Amino acid sequence: MSSHDFFDFVIVGGGIAGVVCAETLCELIRPSRFGGGQSKGYDARVALVSATPTVKTTVNLRRITNMIESFDVSEASAN
């Protein structure tokens, strides 16, 4: 069995929570979006499993206060 025959993490659910979980996990594994360095020596594979052909995520995220954020929900085809 090769290392490409499995995933290190599997997230079930293509809704907002599942997509944000997958995005956050990928960012923790490889911090590069916000200027952080890449993790060395660790190349994890993340799978997002959804029962529908669409995934939902948040867009236009705005922090209003320390505890309140405003956002829109976007739905995209997983194809």
pLDDT at 44: 82
pLDDT at 14: 86
Predicted pLDDT of residue 36:
55
The model's pTM is 0.65
- Is residue 9 very low, low, confident or very high in pLDDT (cuts 50, 70, 90)? very high
Task: State the residue for tokens 């952080």.
Answer: 36
Residue ranges per structural domain of the chain: 7-77
Contact 21, 11 (CB under 8 A): yes
pLDDT digits (tens, 9 = 90+) for 15-55: 888 988 988 888 888 765 555 555 555 678 899 999 988 88
